[in-house]
Amino acid sequence: MKRLLCLLLTAALLLGGCALTDTPEPSETEAPTQSTEAPTEPHYATTAGGITVKSDYSAYTAYVAPEAKYTRLSEGPLPELLPSEDYGAIYPYIGSELYSTNYDFSAGYLYGMVDENGRILTDPVYTNAALLSDYGVYRSSPFWLLERVGEVYTNEYGYETADRFYALASLDGSFVTDCIYTSATGCGDVALATRQIDGETVLEVIDASGRLIYSSLEHPFERPLYPYAYGSGYSDGILRLYAETGEYDSYESWDGEVEYYPIYGYYFADLDGNLLSGPYQSAGSFSSGYSAVELFSGSFALIDREGGYFADTEFLYAGDFINGYACVDFAEDGEGPYCFINPDGEIVNELVCTDPPNYYDGAYHVYDYYSNYGSTAAEYIYDDRGELLYCSAPAEDGWSTVNQFIEALILYDGNYNCHGGDLRNKETGVTYEIPDGYQLDYSFQSYVLLNRYDENYRCVSYVLLDMDLNEVSSGRGGLYQLNDKMTGTSYIAASGSSLRLYDMEMNEVCVLPGSSEWNQWIYGDRTMLLDDFSCSYYDLDGNLLFRYLRDDTMGD
């Protein structure tokens, strides 16, 4: 009898729990677009104890699909983006999911473009629509890059593939090129793109107004150019071109034949295609009147516009001048110390590392494997004049880290799971004990973020501290950083039943109806949210601007 009562009580509790947790909050204004009728036949399930449980569907609320909200440039098909002075700012939206069984490289989404009022300018016809990346400084350029995939064909290895073609558009849609380019890259306020004409590579440089600054078709360089734009550049009115040197190397193919291929090098030229200097094994951009180049001998130099050496010196290593400072290595062994110099050649800082630093995300990063005998690398991050921002290294009983203000000792168990540690402010001496189960998130430079994860490595709670180790915020879910793709402005996002955006001083910006399970992008004054059913835009006051129901979820 007791066993039967226990089973009945357990079943009642389970049913009550389901009715509470599975009922979503009611929609405020949107009408349902899916059927809410309950099944005519009840569903039965029998437990191991022989007790039959009846599911009451009236206790559930059907999912309410979102309503579309948009207008169109015209009622007919919109197969491509046409240039116009009347759009204002334009943005991408995701219209459907792209499925492919023949080749997997095109799997993803199909994109269209809308104007600032949410009016659809193109149907979802592009396999990608994104801001053009500037690989020189790792930021976005003032261009939209629109991608299409060509006809499927079988390559020389027997695999089905297809070529990709690109168009460039201004941020306001006032100019749009044809989809003719095979590659494109940003370089400051200009775009560099390559296309093939009669088997020859043509390089074009286009400014943000759509004006053609340089074309190798009109001003040919004396050597064949590399087929892709990624090695080329433009700065201070000087072209950096990646081209054949006239020399060849060879390898033996699988059938024993000797195959020859051209050796490429970097050259500098003016906008008429006239050679200024080169070839170099690698080359940077001009800044402070100089560019860092690597010679084929393995040495480095800082060269001026005519190819002359900075201070008549070759270096074991040299990087470009960035914000007025360059990282160089004078040492004969090529293993440091790496120094930061100003344009007068004066040393302003020295680094303690054996590997040259890499510049990205606005700072110099060094992973020093040798200082720990190759077991675990120490990481160092420096600003553009060599001031230490952050470092980490294994300690005897954990992992120690330090940035401008905070020192930390993170403790791990035998399975390398974090189980606490201590934080200390270097200036004030204030300490903070990391709660058991929390991990230090290194991505937050302005705050100290501690996260706790479940067994599926989902963040379930967080604690946010300021640099004085005072608690700023804590709660369920997690925090992460969202960056505006147009301006680079950073926001702090809090996940949960809604998406909350804060500025970097933790002032609330807006609350959006999304969660960490949605995809989010910020473009200037608006946020694009993508869920399983729709693609929506909201302004940074939380107002819905535009919603398009994705084709792959709309049914027949």
DSSP 431-492: EEEEPTTEEEETT-SSSEEEEEE-TT--EEEEEEE-TT--EEEEEES-EEEEEBTTT--EEE
CA 428/CA 33 separation, integer angstroms: 59
Beta carbons of 340 and 347 less than 8 angstroms apart: yes
How far, CA to CA in Å, does 370 sit from each of 17, 83, 355, 469? 56, 55, 9, 33
- Read off the pTM: 0.78
Spatial CA neighbour of 167 closest among 140, 127, 214, 197 = 127
What's residue 302's pLDDT?
Answer: 96
Residue-wise over 93-129: b if at least 16 C-beta within 10 A, else e?
bbbbebeeeeeeebeebbbbbbbbebbbbbbbbbbbb
Single-letter amino acid code for the residue at 114: V
Tokens of 59: 């206790």
Q: What does the DSSP 8-state code read for residue 322?
A: B
pLDDT for 370 equals 52
Sheet strands side by side (includes 378-382): 358-360, 363-368, 378-382, 388-395, 398-403, 406-412, 418-425, 431-434
Q: Tokens representing 132?
A: 């053009």
CB atoms within 10 A of CB 222: 11
pLDDT at residue 455 in the model: 83
Tokens of 263: 């050796």
CB-neighbour burial class of residue 6 (10 A; exposed 0-12, middle 13-18, buried 19+)? exposed
Beta strands in 178-299 (DSSP E): 183-187, 190-197, 200-207, 212-215, 233-235, 238-252, 258-269, 275-280, 282-283, 291-294
- Retrieve residue 406's tokens: 């905070």
Sign of torsion over alpha carbons 356, 357, 359, 361: positive
- 11: tokens are 């079943």
Q: Where are the alpha helices (DSSP H) in 129-192?
A: none
The amino acid that residue 294 corresponds to is: E
Cβ burial of 432 (10 Å; 0-12, 13-18, 19+) is: buried
Distance, CA of 508 to CA of 359 (rounded, Å): 32
Task: Give the pairing of strands 282-283 and 388-395.
Answer: unpaired
Structure tokens at 295: 């010679």
Q: Residue 96: in which H helix or E strand, if any?
A: strand 90-98
Please, is 220 exposed, middle or buried when counting C-beta atoms within 10 Å of its C-beta (0-12, 13-18, 19+)? middle
Cα–Cα distance between 190 and 288 in angstroms, integer? Answer: 19
For residue 405, CA distances in Å to 158, 227, 364, 375, 459 come to 57, 48, 18, 27, 26
Write down the domain spans for the chain: 4-59
**Binned average pLDDT, 10 residues per bin, the chain of 556 residues:** 39 36 32 37 44 55 75 94 96 81 60 93 94 73 93 81 93 96 93 95 96 95 93 92 94 86 95 94 92 94 94 91 92 77 92 81 76 59 87 74 78 65 88 87 79 85 91 86 86 83 90 81 92 89 89 48
